[in-house]
Amino acid sequence: MEAESRESRPHMRAPLALAIVIAFMSAYSAFAEQKAWEQQEVTQIAKELAQAVSGMRDEFRKEPTDSIGVTQSQARYRLKDELRLLESEAKELLGQLESGQGRDATLPIYDRIGALARDARENARKQLTAEPMQKRVDLAEELWAQLTPYYTGASDKGSQSR
């Protein structure tokens, strides 16, 4: 009976197969979009990112907090902290790139910014933040995505990496 019920559920395997195909397509897409490390270009994008996130936490603090419950209050503090960290990490990335640090040295910061931007975007949506704040979070994630082709390639053996 158990073997029969497993065989009679092929529709349960379809979502898994689809997820695997999407994962491979995403990996191929990231591989296909790799760019050679260009310190000036990466630094310019990082500068735009730092400008985009500058003051986001302060802007978020000014949004009204009328009648929010404990759960929403905790989520609000979490988002505020993510915005603080996002701003700090963007400044750190820019500083390291401006001082000549290359891909290998800045990769951990790039990864952290991506995770923070994704989390902040999702938490901002859950908090129903004002549209200007949503747009700023989306812009931060878009700028991070512009950095991705430079960080998905091979290490920066040809560039400075202290």
Report how many helices (DSSP H) and strands (DSSP E) the chain contains, helices first: 7, 0
Residue 50 pLDDT class (50, 70, 90 cuts):
very high
The pLDDT tens digits of the residues spanning 84-110 come to: 999 999 999 999 999 999 999 999 999
The answer to whether 38 touches 159, Cβ cutoff 8 Å, is no
Query: Can you say how many angstroms the Cα of residue 44 is from the centroid of all Cα atoms in its chain?
Result: 18
Instruction: Measure the CA–CA gap between 121 and 95, rounded to whole angstroms.
Output: 24
Report in angstroms the alpha-carbon separations of 16 from 2, 11, 13.
20, 10, 5
Longest dimension (CA), the chain: 67
More confident call, 6 vs 152: 152
Closest CA to 136 of 146, 151, 115, 121: 121
Instruction: Measure the CA–CA gap between 6 and 17, rounded to whole angstroms.
Output: 16
The pLDDT tens digits of the residues spanning 10-20 come to: 443 334 334 44
Q: Specify the pLDDT at position 131.
A: 77
**CATH code of the region 37-151:** 1.20.120
For residue 129, what are its two tokens? 């933040």
The pLDDT tens digits of the residues spanning 132-151 come to: 777 887 888 899 999 999 99
Cα angle 90, 115, 125 (rounded to 5 degrees) comes to 100
Task: Of 44-58, 60-74, 129-143, give the lowest mean pLDDT range.
Answer: 60-74
Q: Where are the domains of the chain?
A: 1-32, 37-151
Helix 70-98 and helix 103-126, axial crossing angle in degrees, nearest 10: 160
Instruction: Measure the CA–CA gap between 152 and 68, rounded to whole angstroms.
Output: 41
